[in-house]
């Protein structure tokens, strides 16, 4: 590898954990495909009046999915990260607002959607937006392996992108640690083991998040009734919720 500054770097294995637009993936010529959802993910930092109890909360609506993800509290109060997936047109209206206008308008919208679940909310950061896509890439070639968003990207509605990446890293480290001593780290057979061990879990999460996105995009009809009934059943059965959380965490 030759850096922009002309520095030459040699290694048995280069690992691309450099995000959805992975420069290493592109430089290595690894294949990649993406399907846009037509949604934009909006992210910013909020302070809330009520404690989040270290619990992520989501609100599913026909026009998008809103999530409050817990963050460590500060002297300013209780902190959450907002992730809100909206259709492109609606998201761009918020993105076009000035910081002052957003600080007035957004809390009112969030109060309406969440019904004051965490009390009054205050905007603490600029708004950042990114297009939502379903992506997958060739995970390896000789001397190169991908992990995290560089290898695959799912809809954030279940908050599983980070978990997928963390398990990728753990499995890759384990695979490299257990390889035969005569094989280099970038050996095709070694990296194929890594891909094979991750294939089922990654495919399952891709299918699950894509299906959930389609389910919650429906606002009426038999499918909506079935979806709402299923959510109510899960909500009333704590052991089912715990098992779903374990499965989503890769445990």
**Residues 85-103: tens digit of each pLDDT:** 999 999 999 999 999 999 9
What is the mean pLDDT of the segment spanning 31-58?
Answer: 94
Q: Do domains 14-31+138-217 and 38-131 have the same CATH topology?
A: no
- CB burial of 118-134 (b: ≥16 within 10 Å; e: otherwise) equals beebebbeebebeebbb
Place of tokens 């499995």: 171
From the list 187, 197, 198, 196, the residue with the least C-alpha distance to 143 is 187
d(CA 114, CA 180): 53
Residue 157 pLDDT: 79
Judge: domain 14-31+138-217, CATH 3.40.50.1240.
Answer: no
Residue 132 pLDDT: 94
Q: How many CB atoms lie within 10 A of CB 218?
A: 14
d(CA 196, CA 115): 45
Contact 91, 40 (CB under 8 A): yes
Cα 138 to Cα 18, 28, 31, 45: the distances in Å are 15, 10, 5, 34
Residue 218 pLDDT: 64
C-alpha of 39 from chain center: 14
pLDDT surpasses 70 at 236: no
Higher-pLDDT residue of 250, 55: 55
Judge: domain 38-131, CATH 3.10.20.600.
Answer: no
Residue 229 pLDDT: 61
Contact 15, 9 (CB under 8 A): no
Question: Domain-by-domain residue ranges, the chain?
Answer: 14-31+138-217, 38-131
pLDDT surpasses 70 at 76: yes
List, as one string, the DSSP characters of 45-62: EEEESS--TT--EEEEET
Residue 244 pLDDT: 53
Q: What is the pLDDT of residues 108-124, one digit of tens each?
A: 999 999 999 999 999 99
């Amino acid at each position: 590898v030759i850096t922009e500054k002309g520095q030459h770097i040699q290694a048995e294995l280069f690992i691309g954990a450099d995000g959805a637009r992975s420069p290493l993936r592109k430089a290595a010529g690894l294949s990649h495909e993406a399907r846009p959802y037509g949604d934009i993910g909006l992210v910013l930092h909020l302070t809330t009046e009520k404690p989040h109890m270290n619990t992520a909360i989501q609100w599913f609506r026909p026009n998008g999915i809103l999530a409050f993800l817990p963050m460590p509290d500060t002297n300013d109060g209780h902190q959450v990260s907002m992730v809100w997936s909206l259709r492109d047109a609606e998201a761009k209206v918020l993105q076009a607002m000035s910081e002052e206008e957003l600080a007035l308008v957004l809390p009112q919208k969030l109060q309406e959607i969440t019904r004051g679940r965490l009390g009054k909310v205050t905007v603490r950061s600029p708004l950042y937006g990114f297009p939502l896509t379903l992506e997958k890439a060739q995970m390896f070639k000789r001397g190169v392996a991908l992990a995290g968003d560089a290898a695959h990207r799912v809809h954030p509605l279940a908050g599983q992108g980070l978990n997928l990446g963390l398990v990728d890293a753990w499995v890759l480290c384990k695979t490299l640690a257990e390889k035969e001593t005569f094989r280099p780290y970038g050996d095709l057979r070694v990296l194929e083991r890594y891909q094979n061990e991750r294939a089922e879990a990654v495919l399952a999460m891709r299918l699950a998040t894509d299906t959930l996105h389609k389910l919650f995009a429906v606002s009426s009809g038999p499918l909506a009734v079935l979806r709402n009934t299923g959510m109510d059943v899960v909500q009333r059965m704590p052991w089912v919720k715990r098992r779903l959380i374990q499965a989503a965490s890769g445990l």
